[in-house]
Structures are given as C-alpha cells and as structure tokens.
Structure 1
Amino acid sequence: MARPRTRDYGELRRELVDAGGRLLAAAGPSALTTRRVAEQAGVSTTAVYNLFGDKGGLVREMFLAGFERLAAAFAAVPRTDDAVADLLALGHAYRANALANPHLFQLMFGRPVPEFQPDAETGALIRPTFDTLVAAAARCVQEGAFAPAEPYDLAVRLNALAHGLASLELRGALGDAEEARRHWDGAFDSMVRGLAGS
C-alpha cells in the first residue's frame, strides 16, 4: 500500500494559499471556509489551523503570498544600462505576475473579503514591491530620461496604469494575449513620452 504523500511547510502553505485564492475568485468570500480550503488541498482543517491559526490568518497569508510572488517577479528583472527599459520591464513583470496569479490579484488590490484589512505590520511587509518602482523611477529622473519629478509620484502613476491594465486584461476586456500586449505597450509608450517631456 502506498504511503501518503508528505508535504513540507512551504509546499503546503502554497497549496492552501492557492486553494483559498481559487475559491475566493470563483465563488466569493462566502466560499472561503477553512473546511473547503482544506478539502481543495487534500488535507484536514487541522493543517489550516496549524499553519494560519484561523480563516483570518489564512486570508492574511494569501494577501502576503500575492505580494511575495510580485516581489519575486520584480527581482527576476535584470538591471541594464537603460533605466527606462528597466522600469518598463517591471511593468511587464507586474502583468506576468497578475496573469500567473489571477486568483490572488483581487485580494492584493481590492476588498473581496470585507473583514480583512491589512494592519501596519502587513503593510510594511508588502512595501518593498512599491519601493522597487520608486527606485526605478528615481533612476530614470537621475539619468535624465524623465523630466524632473518626484519619483514617488511617478511610481504611483506607473502602478495605477499597470493595475488598471491588468484588471482589464484579467476580465478579458483587452482582447486576446497579442492584443492585450499591444495595449500595454501603447500605454507605456505614451506614459514614457509624456514623462520625458516630448
């Protein structure tokens, strides 16, 4: 008789996070129960409680996991001699992460679980993803690629643009993948030309 498969903490955490995200995206917050998440992952509810404490802890981990994956996508973007290309590469990494994790995207940037509100500690944990955009925008200004501006403000605008495009693409409002990429490229091109003052 085959022995049951064992999973380490990281693997089980990811499976439960993804199971919770899929339930939330498919059926809304009422479907997000510890029992259903455990069933989806093929474990007992005890595993959920041991890892996350309760449903609130699970939602927090789902939220943090989304940003951990975004941070990893940003970290994978190589630094080149072209500051603007590097900034735009972060925008495309944002898109790739949204497409790879659509079940976590709404929780990261919306309020699909009304009772979940990130606290200050949670906010501090996700801050580095935005700081990456600020640093990339600052480099564009410092190297003269963009007209003088506050890097934080530029990062807010880039983040808003990427978020809007990703939200539309995940809803199927930008057409197929090729058409969606054309919209992303066109929007980024317009933004860059505007920031360069041309």
Structure 2
Amino acid sequence: MRTELIEAAIRLLEQDGPEALQTRRVAAAAGASTMTVYTHFGGMTGLLDAVAAEAFSRFGAALGAAAFTDDPVADFFVMGRAYREYALANPQRYRLMFGLTAPGAGKPGYVMDLTTETPDDAVGADTFGHAITAAERMIAGGHIRSDPPRQVAARLWALLHGAILLEMAGHFGAEGQSAATVLGPATYDLLVGMGASRERLEQSALEANRRTGKGAG
C-alpha cells in the first residue's frame, strides 16, 4: 500500500499539478482510506517526502544509466542530456523534487545543500553523487582544473537546472532550441573557464552525439 500511495501521488502530480496532492485525492486514487496516508507516512508531508525520494531515485537511475568510457567529458555530456530529458519529460515531478511547487508554506524538509557534505540517506544525495563522480573523472583525466569536485558538480548542476527551468517556462523559444543556442554553449564556456580545451570539448560532444543519436548541442 505504501508503494501504491506513492505511485498514485506521482500520477496525480503529473496529471493535475501539485494542487492535486491532497490526502483524500491520493487515498482515493490508490483505492485506500485517508487514514492509510497517516498510517504509512504520518500525513501528507511524509508522503511528499516519499514522492520526492522516489522521484530522485528515478532521476538518479536516468543519470547513471550510461556506461563509463575512456572519455569522461563525453560521459558528462551524455549524463547532461539524460538530465534534461528527464526534467522535460516530468516537469511537475522535477519542480516538486527541488521544492519549487511543494504544497503548503515553507521550504520542504527534503531540500539538500549541494555545497556541503550531506548524509548518505538524504533525499537526492545519491542522485547528486552522479554529478560529483562526473566532476571527479573530468578532473582526474586532466580535462579541467582540480577544484573540489563537489563545488564543480554544484556549478554544473546549477547551470543545467537554471537553463532547464527557463526552457520549461518557454523563455528559449522553439522546443529543443536551448540545447544548441544556450545550454550547450554555456556548458562549453563554463568548462573552458575551468581549463578545458574547446577543441577537445567539441570532440567529446561529437562522441556524445554518436552515443545518444542526437544532433549537435
């Protein structure tokens, strides 16, 4: 029943937005009583935490799906595309994960601090770990300067997150345009600023294109 309640909440969230995440509606969608929500989660706050945890778990699985190669920059580009695709395919879920549309007042309890070490069981910690690993591998390969990997990962995450939220809101024009005209070039600029060779970045991007079957950007 716990799993069914989480799945029902995710379905309602994607179909009708965060306003649909009400105890009675979620319970009804799962074929349960409202008391079941309190029994398993202590109320809607606990259920929202569980929904965010499940969403982050699926997000992390998407980011970690590609195998590592001997080109960590291409691997990062592949992961970045998986990030963007997940967010655009699940916009309501993505916003909830980052506390942007959580029902109720105040910041949700599952928002983690990307700049400091977080407990392994913190919601989203495993998912952000994929970004840290990508940063570590690019640093170890000599592609970018050796800043603290967590800080590098936070910078890259912030770039992806900000650009994708603007794309979701329609500020970058035609669908898919931002990858080629904003997000891609901005990622190049950030990595070049950290010591990467633009020529090598372009080679890695071509490899990422080949692996994902995508066009440039």
Q: Distance in 2 between matches of 1:43 and 1:23?
A: 20
Task: Give the C-alpha shift of residue 18 in structure 1.
Answer: 2.7
Higher helix share: 1
Q: Distance in 1 between matches of 2:133 and 2:122?
A: 17
Give the corresponding residue for 1:187. 186
| 1:174 counterpart = 2:211 | no
Distance 1:196 1:14 in 2: 44
Structure 1's unaligned 5+ residue stretches are: 1-7
Provide the residue aligned with 2:127 in structure 1. Answer: 129
Q: Closer, same or farther in 2 for the Cα pair 1:12/1:165, shift >3 Å? A: same
Q: Which amino acid aligns with 1:196?
A: G
Q: Please give the residue correspondences for 1:15-34 in structure 2 after superposition, counting only pairs within 5 Å.
A: 15-20=8-13, 22-25=15-18, 27=19, 31-34=20-23
Cα distance between partner residues in 1 of 2:133 and 2:86? 20
Q: Distance in 2 between matches of 1:103 and 1:158?
A: 22
**Take 1:13 and 1:109, find their aligned partners in 2: how far apart are those partners?**
17
1:154 alignment counterpart? 152
Q: Which residue of 2 aligns with 1:118?
A: 110
Q: Do the aligned residues in 1 keep the contact of 2:64 with 2:79 (CA within 8 Å)?
A: no
Q: State the TM-score, normalizing by the size of structure 1.
A: 0.79
The more displaced of 184-193 and 31-40 is 31-40
AA aligned opposite 1:106:
R
Q: Deviations over 1:130-150 (max 9, x none)?
A: 122111111111111112322
Contact 1:141 1:148 in 2 (8 A): yes
Paired residues in the alignment total 187
Q: Using the alignment, how far apart are the partners of 1:20 and 1:37 within structure 2?
A: 10
Task: Give the share of equivalent positions with the same residue, in percent.
Answer: 35
Q: What stretches of structure 2 of length at least 5 have no aligned partner? A: 112-117, 198-217
The TM-score normalised by the length of structure 2 is 0.73
